[in-house]
Amino acid sequence: MKKIVAVTGCPTGIAHTYMAQESLQEAAKKLEVEIKVETNGASGVENRLTAAEIEAAEGVIVAADVDVNLDRFNGKAVIDTSVQDGIHRPEELIEQILAGEAEIRQGVKQSQPEKAANASIGRQIYKHLMNGVSKMLPFVVGGGILIAVSFLWGIHSADPNSDQYNAIAAMLNQLGGTAFGLMVPILAGYIAFSIADKAGLAAGFVGGVVARDTGAGYLGGILIGFFAGYLMAYCKKLMANFPKQLEGLKSIFLLPLIGIFISGTLMYLLGAPVSAANQALKAQLEAIQTANPIILGIVIGCMSAFDMGGPVNKAAYITGTMLLGEGNYEFMAGVSAACITPPLLTALATTIFRKEFTEEEKANGLVNYILGSTHITEGAIPFAAQNPLVVIPILMIGSSISAVLTYMLQIEVPAPHGGFLILPLVNKPFLWVGTILLGSLVGALLYGFYRKHSNRKLTAK
Protein backbone atom coordinates (compact mmCIF):
# COMPACT_ATOMS: atom_id res chain seq x y z
CA MET A 1 0.00 0.00 0.00
CA LYS A 2 1.33 3.44 -0.94
CA LYS A 3 2.05 5.89 1.86
CA ILE A 4 1.66 9.65 2.05
CA VAL A 5 1.91 12.14 4.90
CA ALA A 6 0.06 15.40 5.53
CA VAL A 7 0.04 18.44 7.78
CA THR A 8 -3.06 20.46 8.66
CA GLY A 9 -3.44 23.73 10.55
CA CYS A 10 -5.82 26.67 10.86
CA PRO A 11 -5.53 30.03 12.67
CA THR A 12 -7.57 29.02 15.72
CA GLY A 13 -6.45 25.40 15.70
CA ILE A 14 -9.88 24.23 16.81
CA ALA A 15 -12.11 22.97 14.02
CA HIS A 16 -10.70 23.40 10.51
CA THR A 17 -7.45 21.68 11.51
CA TYR A 18 -9.20 18.47 12.51
CA MET A 19 -11.84 18.60 9.80
CA ALA A 20 -9.06 18.64 7.19
CA GLN A 21 -7.38 15.75 9.00
CA GLU A 22 -10.59 13.72 8.95
CA SER A 23 -11.30 14.51 5.28
CA LEU A 24 -7.80 13.47 4.23
CA GLN A 25 -7.99 10.25 6.24
CA GLU A 26 -11.38 9.33 4.78
CA ALA A 27 -10.21 10.07 1.24
CA ALA A 28 -7.03 8.02 1.76
CA LYS A 29 -9.08 5.09 3.01
CA LYS A 30 -11.31 5.31 -0.05
CA LEU A 31 -8.30 5.43 -2.38
CA GLU A 32 -6.56 2.61 -0.45
CA VAL A 33 -3.63 4.77 0.58
CA GLU A 34 -1.95 4.79 3.98
CA ILE A 35 -1.74 8.27 5.46
CA LYS A 36 -0.49 9.94 8.61
CA VAL A 37 -1.70 13.48 9.35
CA GLU A 38 0.15 15.86 11.65
CA THR A 39 -2.14 18.51 13.16
CA ASN A 40 -1.12 22.02 14.25
CA GLY A 41 -3.95 22.66 16.67
CA ALA A 42 -4.65 25.00 19.54
CA SER A 43 -2.73 22.75 21.93
CA GLY A 44 0.30 22.52 19.63
CA VAL A 45 1.61 19.90 17.22
CA GLU A 46 0.02 16.47 17.55
CA ASN A 47 0.78 13.25 15.68
CA ARG A 48 4.15 14.73 14.69
CA LEU A 49 5.73 13.25 11.56
CA THR A 50 9.04 11.48 11.98
CA ALA A 51 11.94 11.65 9.54
CA ALA A 52 11.43 7.97 8.70
CA GLU A 53 7.73 8.48 7.91
CA ILE A 54 8.51 11.43 5.68
CA GLU A 55 11.23 9.47 3.88
CA ALA A 56 8.89 6.53 3.24
CA ALA A 57 6.06 8.67 1.89
CA GLU A 58 5.23 9.14 -1.78
CA GLY A 59 4.63 12.81 -1.10
CA VAL A 60 3.38 15.42 1.34
CA ILE A 61 0.14 17.41 1.53
CA VAL A 62 0.40 20.61 3.58
CA ALA A 63 -3.16 21.94 4.05
CA ALA A 64 -2.55 24.82 6.43
CA ASP A 65 -3.28 28.52 6.83
CA VAL A 66 -0.51 28.94 9.38
CA ASP A 67 3.23 28.55 8.94
CA VAL A 68 4.62 25.05 9.38
CA ASN A 69 8.19 23.79 9.01
CA LEU A 70 8.45 22.87 5.33
CA ASP A 71 12.24 22.44 5.23
CA ARG A 72 11.93 18.87 6.58
CA PHE A 73 10.17 17.98 3.31
CA ASN A 74 13.09 18.97 1.08
CA GLY A 75 13.43 16.48 -1.78
CA LYS A 76 9.83 15.26 -1.48
CA ALA A 77 6.83 15.92 -3.68
CA VAL A 78 4.90 18.60 -1.79
CA ILE A 79 1.50 20.22 -2.27
CA ASP A 80 1.27 23.41 -0.18
CA THR A 81 -2.34 24.57 -0.08
CA SER A 82 -5.06 25.98 2.20
CA VAL A 83 -6.82 24.12 4.99
CA GLN A 84 -10.08 24.61 3.06
CA ASP A 85 -8.66 22.52 0.21
CA GLY A 86 -7.83 19.83 2.73
CA ILE A 87 -11.47 19.80 3.79
CA HIS A 88 -13.13 20.07 0.39
CA ARG A 89 -10.62 18.54 -2.09
CA PRO A 90 -8.85 15.71 -0.24
CA GLU A 91 -9.21 13.08 -2.98
CA GLU A 92 -7.92 15.46 -5.64
CA LEU A 93 -4.87 16.34 -3.52
CA ILE A 94 -4.02 12.68 -2.85
CA GLU A 95 -4.47 11.79 -6.51
CA GLN A 96 -2.07 14.60 -7.51
CA ILE A 97 0.59 13.10 -5.22
CA LEU A 98 0.02 9.57 -6.56
CA ALA A 99 0.09 10.77 -10.18
CA GLY A 100 3.43 12.53 -9.65
CA GLU A 101 1.94 15.95 -10.40
CA ALA A 102 3.26 17.65 -7.24
CA GLU A 103 6.45 19.70 -7.42
CA ILE A 104 9.60 18.40 -5.75
CA ARG A 105 10.69 20.71 -2.97
CA GLN A 106 14.30 21.75 -3.49
CA GLY A 107 16.90 20.25 -1.18
CA VAL A 108 18.50 23.60 -0.38
CA LYS A 109 16.89 25.26 2.60
CA GLN A 110 14.57 28.01 1.44
CA SER A 111 14.14 31.31 3.20
CA GLN A 112 10.71 32.78 3.86
CA PRO A 113 10.91 35.23 0.93
CA GLU A 114 11.76 32.33 -1.41
CA LYS A 115 8.78 30.41 -0.13
CA ALA A 116 6.62 33.45 -0.75
CA ALA A 117 7.73 33.55 -4.36
CA ASN A 118 6.29 30.05 -4.86
CA ALA A 119 2.79 31.04 -3.78
CA SER A 120 0.34 33.81 -4.61
CA ILE A 121 0.89 37.14 -2.89
CA GLY A 122 -2.64 37.09 -1.49
CA ARG A 123 -2.22 33.66 0.06
CA GLN A 124 1.10 34.58 1.62
CA ILE A 125 -0.27 37.81 3.10
CA TYR A 126 -3.23 35.87 4.48
CA LYS A 127 -0.96 33.22 6.01
CA HIS A 128 1.27 35.83 7.65
CA LEU A 129 -1.73 37.72 9.02
CA MET A 130 -3.40 34.55 10.29
CA ASN A 131 -0.16 33.47 11.94
CA GLY A 132 -0.31 36.66 14.01
CA VAL A 133 -4.02 36.30 14.69
CA SER A 134 -3.69 32.66 15.81
CA LYS A 135 -0.98 33.58 18.33
CA MET A 136 -3.02 36.56 19.53
CA LEU A 137 -6.34 34.75 20.11
CA PRO A 138 -5.43 33.08 23.45
CA PHE A 139 -4.59 36.52 24.86
CA VAL A 140 -7.88 37.90 23.51
CA VAL A 141 -10.02 35.12 24.91
CA GLY A 142 -8.25 34.59 28.24
CA GLY A 143 -7.79 38.29 28.99
CA GLY A 144 -11.24 39.28 27.78
CA ILE A 145 -13.03 36.69 29.88
CA LEU A 146 -11.05 37.62 33.01
CA ILE A 147 -12.01 41.28 32.55
CA ALA A 148 -15.62 40.26 31.99
CA VAL A 149 -15.64 38.07 35.12
CA SER A 150 -14.38 41.02 37.16
CA PHE A 151 -17.59 42.86 36.24
CA LEU A 152 -19.62 40.33 38.26
CA TRP A 153 -18.76 42.44 41.32
CA GLY A 154 -19.91 45.58 39.52
CA ILE A 155 -18.84 47.56 36.48
CA HIS A 156 -16.57 49.74 38.68
CA SER A 157 -15.39 46.93 40.94
CA ALA A 158 -11.73 47.44 39.95
CA ASP A 159 -11.75 51.13 40.90
CA PRO A 160 -10.42 51.68 44.47
CA ASN A 161 -12.46 54.89 44.71
CA SER A 162 -15.76 53.17 43.97
CA ASP A 163 -18.23 51.67 46.46
CA GLN A 164 -18.22 48.55 44.26
CA TYR A 165 -14.47 47.96 44.74
CA ASN A 166 -13.44 44.37 45.37
CA ALA A 167 -9.82 43.20 45.66
CA ILE A 168 -10.42 39.93 43.77
CA ALA A 169 -12.25 41.74 40.99
CA ALA A 170 -9.43 44.29 40.76
CA MET A 171 -6.85 41.49 40.45
CA LEU A 172 -8.86 39.73 37.73
CA ASN A 173 -9.31 43.00 35.89
CA GLN A 174 -5.59 43.72 36.06
CA LEU A 175 -4.65 40.24 34.85
CA GLY A 176 -7.11 40.46 32.00
CA GLY A 177 -5.93 43.94 31.14
CA THR A 178 -2.32 42.73 31.03
CA ALA A 179 -3.26 39.95 28.60
CA PHE A 180 -5.33 42.37 26.50
CA GLY A 181 -2.41 44.79 26.45
CA LEU A 182 -0.20 42.16 24.84
CA MET A 183 -2.55 41.51 21.92
CA VAL A 184 -1.20 44.10 19.50
CA PRO A 185 2.50 43.34 20.22
CA ILE A 186 1.85 39.60 19.82
CA LEU A 187 -0.06 40.21 16.58
CA ALA A 188 2.72 42.37 15.11
CA GLY A 189 5.53 40.16 16.41
CA TYR A 190 4.20 36.95 14.93
CA ILE A 191 3.29 38.51 11.59
CA ALA A 192 6.94 39.56 11.36
CA PHE A 193 8.06 36.14 12.63
CA SER A 194 6.00 34.44 9.92
CA ILE A 195 7.79 36.49 7.26
CA ALA A 196 11.38 36.56 8.54
CA ASP A 197 11.58 33.81 11.17
CA LYS A 198 13.34 34.72 14.45
CA ALA A 199 14.92 37.84 12.98
CA GLY A 200 11.50 39.46 12.66
CA LEU A 201 10.22 38.74 16.15
CA ALA A 202 12.00 41.49 18.11
CA ALA A 203 11.36 44.20 15.52
CA GLY A 204 7.70 43.23 15.17
CA PHE A 205 7.09 42.92 18.90
CA VAL A 206 8.67 46.28 19.76
CA GLY A 207 6.86 47.93 16.84
CA GLY A 208 3.63 46.43 18.17
CA VAL A 209 4.27 47.85 21.66
CA VAL A 210 4.78 51.29 20.13
CA ALA A 211 1.59 50.85 18.08
CA ARG A 212 -0.30 50.02 21.26
CA ASP A 213 1.17 52.90 23.25
CA THR A 214 0.58 55.49 20.52
CA GLY A 215 -3.04 54.42 20.03
CA ALA A 216 -2.40 52.97 16.56
CA GLY A 217 -3.94 49.71 17.81
CA TYR A 218 -4.67 46.72 15.60
CA LEU A 219 -4.27 48.63 12.35
CA GLY A 220 -0.85 49.89 13.44
CA GLY A 221 0.11 46.42 14.67
CA ILE A 222 -0.73 44.84 11.33
CA LEU A 223 1.12 47.53 9.36
CA ILE A 224 4.27 47.43 11.48
CA GLY A 225 4.20 43.63 11.63
CA PHE A 226 4.38 43.37 7.85
CA PHE A 227 6.92 46.19 7.59
CA ALA A 228 9.20 44.68 10.24
CA GLY A 229 8.95 41.22 8.68
CA TYR A 230 9.86 42.28 5.18
CA LEU A 231 12.52 44.68 6.47
CA MET A 232 14.26 41.89 8.37
CA ALA A 233 13.88 39.45 5.48
CA TYR A 234 15.63 42.00 3.28
CA CYS A 235 18.36 42.61 5.87
CA LYS A 236 18.94 38.85 6.17
CA LYS A 237 19.36 38.66 2.41
CA LEU A 238 21.86 41.52 2.42
CA MET A 239 23.87 39.82 5.17
CA ALA A 240 23.64 36.32 3.73
CA ASN A 241 27.30 36.33 2.65
CA PHE A 242 28.70 37.35 6.03
CA PRO A 243 31.51 35.03 7.22
CA LYS A 244 30.32 32.23 9.48
CA GLN A 245 32.47 33.65 12.28
CA LEU A 246 30.20 36.73 12.31
CA GLU A 247 26.93 34.73 12.46
CA GLY A 248 26.48 35.45 16.17
CA LEU A 249 27.17 39.16 15.69
CA LYS A 250 24.63 39.28 12.87
CA SER A 251 21.79 37.42 14.57
CA ILE A 252 22.21 38.66 18.15
CA PHE A 253 23.38 42.23 17.57
CA LEU A 254 23.01 43.68 14.06
CA LEU A 255 19.60 42.36 12.98
CA PRO A 256 17.76 43.12 16.26
CA LEU A 257 19.34 46.57 16.50
CA ILE A 258 18.44 47.54 12.94
CA GLY A 259 14.94 46.05 13.15
CA ILE A 260 13.97 47.55 16.51
CA PHE A 261 15.39 50.99 15.63
CA ILE A 262 13.80 51.33 12.19
CA SER A 263 10.46 49.66 13.00
CA GLY A 264 10.11 51.45 16.34
CA THR A 265 10.99 54.83 14.86
CA LEU A 266 8.59 54.38 11.95
CA MET A 267 5.77 53.42 14.30
CA TYR A 268 6.42 56.47 16.48
CA LEU A 269 6.10 58.65 13.37
CA LEU A 270 2.98 56.85 12.12
CA GLY A 271 1.35 56.45 15.54
CA ALA A 272 -0.68 59.67 15.51
CA PRO A 273 -2.15 59.40 11.98
CA VAL A 274 -2.90 55.69 12.35
CA SER A 275 -4.50 56.38 15.74
CA ALA A 276 -6.67 59.04 14.11
CA ALA A 277 -7.70 56.53 11.44
CA ASN A 278 -8.54 54.00 14.16
CA GLN A 279 -10.68 56.51 16.02
CA ALA A 280 -12.48 57.49 12.81
CA LEU A 281 -13.19 53.83 12.05
CA LYS A 282 -14.43 53.25 15.58
CA ALA A 283 -16.68 56.32 15.45
CA GLN A 284 -18.09 55.25 12.09
CA LEU A 285 -18.88 51.73 13.32
CA GLU A 286 -20.48 53.04 16.50
CA ALA A 287 -22.56 55.51 14.45
CA ILE A 288 -23.82 52.69 12.24
CA GLN A 289 -24.46 50.58 15.33
CA THR A 290 -26.70 53.32 16.78
CA ALA A 291 -28.36 54.67 13.65
CA ASN A 292 -28.63 51.54 11.49
CA PRO A 293 -28.61 48.42 13.69
CA ILE A 294 -30.45 46.50 10.97
CA ILE A 295 -27.82 47.24 8.32
CA LEU A 296 -24.99 46.51 10.75
CA GLY A 297 -26.63 43.26 11.86
CA ILE A 298 -27.05 42.10 8.28
CA VAL A 299 -23.42 42.90 7.44
CA ILE A 300 -22.07 41.18 10.58
CA GLY A 301 -24.41 38.21 10.13
CA CYS A 302 -23.37 37.67 6.52
CA MET A 303 -19.66 38.04 7.32
CA SER A 304 -19.81 35.61 10.24
CA ALA A 305 -21.71 32.91 8.33
CA PHE A 306 -19.98 33.35 4.96
CA ASP A 307 -16.92 31.21 5.66
CA MET A 308 -17.48 30.11 9.29
CA GLY A 309 -14.09 30.72 10.84
CA GLY A 310 -12.36 31.82 7.64
CA PRO A 311 -10.89 35.24 6.82
CA VAL A 312 -14.23 37.03 6.36
CA ASN A 313 -15.54 35.64 9.65
CA LYS A 314 -12.26 36.58 11.35
CA ALA A 315 -12.52 40.16 10.05
CA ALA A 316 -15.83 40.59 11.88
CA TYR A 317 -14.50 38.89 15.00
CA ILE A 318 -11.29 40.95 15.16
CA THR A 319 -13.29 44.16 14.67
CA GLY A 320 -15.53 43.14 17.57
CA THR A 321 -12.47 42.40 19.69
CA MET A 322 -10.96 45.79 18.83
CA LEU A 323 -14.13 47.59 19.93
CA LEU A 324 -14.39 45.36 23.01
CA GLY A 325 -10.99 46.64 24.09
CA GLU A 326 -12.40 50.17 23.72
CA GLY A 327 -15.31 49.38 26.02
CA ASN A 328 -17.93 48.80 23.30
CA TYR A 329 -19.69 45.60 24.40
CA GLU A 330 -22.71 45.86 22.08
CA PHE A 331 -20.77 45.27 18.86
CA MET A 332 -19.26 42.03 20.19
CA ALA A 333 -22.71 40.84 21.26
CA GLY A 334 -23.89 40.89 17.64
CA VAL A 335 -20.73 39.18 16.39
CA SER A 336 -21.02 36.42 18.99
CA ALA A 337 -24.71 35.89 18.20
CA ALA A 338 -23.95 35.65 14.49
CA CYS A 339 -21.13 33.15 15.10
CA ILE A 340 -23.19 30.95 17.44
CA THR A 341 -26.17 30.72 15.07
CA PRO A 342 -24.89 28.54 12.14
CA PRO A 343 -24.11 25.39 14.18
CA LEU A 344 -27.28 25.79 16.25
CA LEU A 345 -29.27 26.31 13.04
CA THR A 346 -28.04 23.03 11.56
CA ALA A 347 -28.56 21.23 14.87
CA LEU A 348 -32.19 22.39 15.07
CA ALA A 349 -32.78 21.45 11.44
CA THR A 350 -31.59 17.87 12.03
CA THR A 351 -33.86 17.66 15.08
CA ILE A 352 -37.03 19.15 13.55
CA PHE A 353 -36.64 17.47 10.14
CA ARG A 354 -35.09 14.19 11.26
CA LYS A 355 -36.38 12.19 8.29
CA GLU A 356 -34.59 14.48 5.83
CA PHE A 357 -31.09 13.85 7.18
CA THR A 358 -28.80 10.83 7.27
CA GLU A 359 -27.76 9.17 10.53
CA GLU A 360 -24.30 10.73 10.23
CA GLU A 361 -25.81 14.19 9.71
CA LYS A 362 -28.08 13.73 12.73
CA ALA A 363 -25.06 12.75 14.83
CA ASN A 364 -23.22 15.87 13.62
CA GLY A 365 -26.31 17.88 14.47
CA LEU A 366 -26.24 16.71 18.07
CA VAL A 367 -22.57 17.69 18.32
CA ASN A 368 -23.44 21.12 16.90
CA TYR A 369 -25.65 21.87 19.92
CA ILE A 370 -22.44 21.80 21.95
CA LEU A 371 -20.28 23.56 19.37
CA GLY A 372 -22.81 26.31 18.83
CA SER A 373 -23.36 26.86 22.53
CA THR A 374 -19.61 27.38 22.96
CA HIS A 375 -19.15 29.77 19.99
CA ILE A 376 -17.50 27.32 17.56
CA THR A 377 -18.97 28.31 14.20
CA GLU A 378 -17.05 25.70 12.21
CA GLY A 379 -19.48 22.96 13.19
CA ALA A 380 -21.77 24.08 10.37
CA ILE A 381 -19.13 23.57 7.66
CA PRO A 382 -19.95 19.90 6.83
CA PHE A 383 -23.57 20.90 6.14
CA ALA A 384 -22.61 23.98 4.11
CA ALA A 385 -20.08 21.97 2.06
CA GLN A 386 -22.84 19.75 0.61
CA ASN A 387 -24.44 22.63 -1.31
CA PRO A 388 -22.74 25.93 -0.43
CA LEU A 389 -24.70 28.02 -2.95
CA VAL A 390 -27.93 27.22 -1.11
CA VAL A 391 -26.89 26.46 2.49
CA ILE A 392 -24.52 29.40 3.08
CA PRO A 393 -27.20 32.02 2.19
CA ILE A 394 -29.56 30.26 4.62
CA LEU A 395 -26.89 30.42 7.34
CA MET A 396 -26.39 34.12 6.53
CA ILE A 397 -30.11 34.79 6.96
CA GLY A 398 -30.18 33.07 10.36
CA SER A 399 -27.04 34.83 11.59
CA SER A 400 -28.28 38.20 10.34
CA ILE A 401 -31.56 37.84 12.22
CA SER A 402 -29.70 36.99 15.43
CA ALA A 403 -27.28 39.93 15.03
CA VAL A 404 -29.96 42.46 14.04
CA LEU A 405 -32.13 41.61 17.06
CA THR A 406 -29.10 41.73 19.36
CA TYR A 407 -28.22 45.24 18.17
CA MET A 408 -31.83 46.46 18.27
CA LEU A 409 -32.20 45.29 21.87
CA GLN A 410 -28.84 46.87 22.84
CA ILE A 411 -27.48 43.67 24.38
CA GLU A 412 -23.93 43.83 25.75
CA VAL A 413 -21.45 40.94 25.84
CA PRO A 414 -18.18 41.92 27.57
CA ALA A 415 -16.25 38.71 26.71
CA PRO A 416 -14.83 37.83 23.27
CA HIS A 417 -15.64 34.11 23.34
CA GLY A 418 -17.34 31.35 25.30
CA GLY A 419 -20.84 31.27 23.86
CA PHE A 420 -23.53 30.52 26.45
CA LEU A 421 -20.85 29.80 29.08
CA ILE A 422 -20.53 33.56 29.59
CA LEU A 423 -24.27 34.21 30.08
CA PRO A 424 -23.75 35.47 33.68
CA LEU A 425 -21.70 38.31 32.18
CA VAL A 426 -24.32 39.40 29.61
CA ASN A 427 -26.52 42.37 30.56
CA LYS A 428 -29.68 40.79 29.08
CA PRO A 429 -28.89 37.06 29.02
CA PHE A 430 -32.39 35.69 28.35
CA LEU A 431 -33.04 38.16 25.55
CA TRP A 432 -29.65 37.33 24.00
CA VAL A 433 -30.38 33.60 24.03
CA GLY A 434 -33.82 34.36 22.60
CA THR A 435 -32.42 36.36 19.67
CA ILE A 436 -29.97 33.58 18.83
CA LEU A 437 -32.60 30.86 19.07
CA LEU A 438 -35.02 32.87 16.90
CA GLY A 439 -32.42 33.42 14.19
CA SER A 440 -31.41 29.76 14.40
CA LEU A 441 -35.02 28.56 14.24
CA VAL A 442 -35.89 30.66 11.18
CA GLY A 443 -32.76 29.39 9.43
CA ALA A 444 -33.47 25.80 10.54
CA LEU A 445 -36.94 25.93 9.01
CA LEU A 446 -35.56 27.29 5.73
CA TYR A 447 -32.85 24.65 5.68
CA GLY A 448 -35.22 21.86 6.65
CA PHE A 449 -37.78 22.72 3.96
CA TYR A 450 -34.98 22.97 1.41
CA ARG A 451 -33.77 19.47 2.35
CA LYS A 452 -37.34 18.18 2.21
CA HIS A 453 -37.85 19.63 -1.28
CA SER A 454 -34.46 18.38 -2.43
CA ASN A 455 -35.10 14.85 -1.14
CA ARG A 456 -38.52 14.75 -2.81
CA LYS A 457 -36.96 15.68 -6.16
CA LEU A 458 -34.38 12.88 -5.79
CA THR A 459 -37.13 10.37 -4.92
CA ALA A 460 -39.21 11.44 -7.92
CA LYS A 461 -36.28 10.67 -10.22
Backbone angles phi, psi at 109, to 5 degrees: -60, 130
The total of other beta-carbon atoms located within 10 Å of residue 254's CB is 15
Query: Long-range contact list for 196-201, CB < 8 A, 24+ apart?
Result: 196/112, 196/228, 196/229, 196/230, 196/231, 196/232, 196/233, 196/236, 197/111, 197/112, 198/251, 199/232, 199/233, 199/235, 199/236, 199/251, 199/255, 199/256, 199/259, 200/228, 200/229, 200/232, 200/233, 200/259
> For the purposes of burial, counting CB atoms within 10 Å of the CB of 92, is it exposed (0-12), middle (13-18) or buried (19 or more)?
exposed
Residue 235 a catalytic site member: no
- Of 454, 415, 442, nearest to 172 (Cα)? 415
Catalytic-role residue among 10, 235, 302, 339? 10
8 close to 83: Cβ distance less than 8 angstroms:
yes
Spatial separation of the C-alpha atoms in residues 273 and 271, rounded to whole Å:
6
Collapsing DSSP states into helix, strand and coil, what is residue 307? Answer: coil
Which residues make Cβ contacts (< 8 Å) with residue 136, sequence separation at least 6?
183, 186, 187, 190
Strand partners, 34: 3
Compute the CA torsion angle 156, 158, 159, 160 (nearest 10 deg): 130
Q: Which residues are catalytic?
A: 10
